[in-house]
């Protein structure tokens, strides 16, 4: 009943969907050259042979499956891999990081006409949905076309579980057809099982298997030369409201280190103008990277409002505060800075990565603050005590290395559908 209601609403809402997507394009949140992909229209032909389709929502989810994609291609070299995402940032990231034989498209809006057009064109032999991508019309169309579908790296927060449990019949209709559901944690496994998924297994979190973020070595060398021996810290993947926290922390820390350099990398580079105005109002000397403004001795804050360069700044910064966790966004992935020898500070709000954050804090691989106001004091402590900083970076690197088995475990679970064609459930 709810599936039919949802389908009817999305069908009737076609004009509003179109206007909304046009608004996104005007705001620079869509690729105008590939806008048709949002409606299931692709200019790219389907490659011959077997095709596996992987869908990840945005940058974090897409990065988490790059190692798996590489492993699938190495194990089954005749299989092509289509990777879809929603955000333009993730599309640009994947363009430079996907292996040969894998390619990117944008996910169509979840309206039945669009998703059926998408499936008719690509005809995937196997579909892999990442984390929590439960789009009702797409799942219905996959079931009707008998395309075996798995959910991998599945996660479900407490709040999401409560919401889905109120509509348990609909939830079971959505997750019950997965040939296998692979979750990040035992907690996630229990929640998906309670909603009707079967079988559900817990090999662990694929985010631990991602390769370190890439870097332009020449640019890394140039920036190290420009910064020299100055004390430095990074506020990574900031969201609206967090830049002011970073500026306040910077101003407090300058009392101890007058030559301090603070780097702010916003989660969304399109906010560059907005953040630049905030920095200007605060009176701090700023170098804006998107304008190619160099870091000089007078620069207090470097606004790195570019895309795809987080790996560069993680390699530069000994101390990193992870954005999205100081306001109720839910945080971002601490494994990425852990792989690059950063001492990591998390804010109070890490609910999107609760299991990973819990592991990091338990293993003394990160510091989790109960109040954002403690940011400056924590950065100061880590900058002035190299021995303590080294303890955190070493523990973080070790934790990431201990999870390397996850990739092989996930691939083993998926083997029945990656090799021969089958619709038989794994038991």
Active site residues: 61
- Both tokens of 368, joined, read 């989790």
What is the side-by-side order of every strand in the sheet holding 343-346?
286-288, 301-303, 261-266, 232-238, 319-322, 343-346, 367-368
Q: CA-to-CA distance for 423 and 147, rounded, in angstroms?
A: 8
- Token digits of residue 307: 């895309």
d(Cα 54, Cα 149) in Å, to the nearest integer? 10
Which residues pair with residue 262 across a beta bridge? Answer: 233, 301
- The candidate with the shortest Cα–Cα distance to 92, out of 307, 367, 396, is 307
DSSP string, 266-328: ESSGGGHHHHHHHHHHHT--EEEGGGTPPP-TT--EEE---SS-HHHHHHH-SEEEETTTTTT
Asked if the peptide bond before residue 334 counts as cis, ω within 30 degrees of 0, the response is no
Name the DSSP class of 46.
Answer: P
Q: Which two tokens stand for residue 370?
A: 């109960």
CB 237 within 8 A of CB 265: yes
130 close to 158: Cβ distance less than 8 angstroms:
no
d(CA 60, CA 223) in angstroms, rounded, equals 26
Is the Cα torsion angle 73, 74, 75, 79 positive or negative in sign?
A: positive
């Amino acid at each position: 009943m709810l599936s039919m209601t949802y389908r009817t609403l999305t069908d009737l809402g076609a004009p509003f969907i179109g206007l909304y997507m046009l608004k996104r394009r005007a705001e620079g949140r869509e690729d105008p050259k590939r806008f048709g992909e949002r409606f299931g229209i692709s200019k790219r032909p389907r490659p011959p042979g077997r095709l596996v389709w992987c869908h990840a929502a945005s940058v974090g989810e897409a990065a988490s499956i790059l190692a798996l994609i590489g492993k699938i291609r190495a194990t089954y070299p005749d299989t092509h891999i289509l990777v879809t995402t929603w955000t333009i940032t993730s599309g640009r990231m994947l363009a430079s990081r996907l292996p040969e034989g894998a390619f990117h498209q944008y996910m169509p809006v979840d309206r039945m006409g669009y998703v059926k057009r998408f499936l008719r064109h690509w005809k995937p032999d196997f579909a892999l949905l990442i984390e929590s991508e439960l789009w009702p019309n797409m799942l219905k169309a996959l079931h009707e076309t008998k395309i075996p579908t798995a959910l991998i790296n599945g996660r479900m927060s407490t709040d999401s579980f409560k919401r889905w449990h109120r509509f348990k019949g609909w939830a079971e209709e959505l997750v019950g057809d997965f040939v296998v559901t692979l979750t990040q944690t035992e907690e996630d496994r229990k929640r998906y099982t309670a909603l009707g998924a079967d079988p559900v297994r817990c090999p662990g979190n694929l985010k631990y298997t991602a390769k370190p973020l890439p870097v332009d070595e020449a640019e890394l060398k140039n920036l190290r030369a420009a910064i020299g021996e100055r004390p430095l810290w990074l506020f990574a993947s900031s969201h609206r409201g967090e830049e002011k926290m970073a500026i306040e922390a910077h101003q407090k820390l300058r009392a101890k280190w007058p030559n301090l350099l603070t780097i702010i990398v916003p989660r969304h580079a399109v906010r560059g103008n907005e953040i630049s105005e905030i920095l200007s109002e605060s009176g701090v000397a700023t170098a804006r990277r998107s304008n190619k403004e160099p870091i000089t001795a007078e620069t207090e804050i470097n606004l790195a409002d570019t895309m795809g360069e987080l790996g560069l700044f993680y390699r530069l910064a000994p101390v990193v505060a992870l954005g999205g966790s100081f306001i109720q966004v839910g945080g971002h992935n601490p494994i990425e800075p852990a792989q690059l020898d950063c001492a990591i500070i998390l804010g109070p709000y890490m609910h999107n990565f609760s299991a990973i954050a819990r592991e990091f804090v338990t293993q003394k691989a990160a510091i989790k603050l109960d109040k954002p106001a403690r940011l400056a004091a924590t950065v100061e402590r880590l900058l002035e005590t190299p021995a303590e900083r080294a303890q955190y970076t070493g523990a973080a690197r070790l934790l990431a290395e201990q999870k390397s088995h996850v990739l092989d475990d996930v691939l083993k679970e998926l083997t029945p559908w990656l090799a021969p064609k089958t619709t038989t459930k794994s038991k």
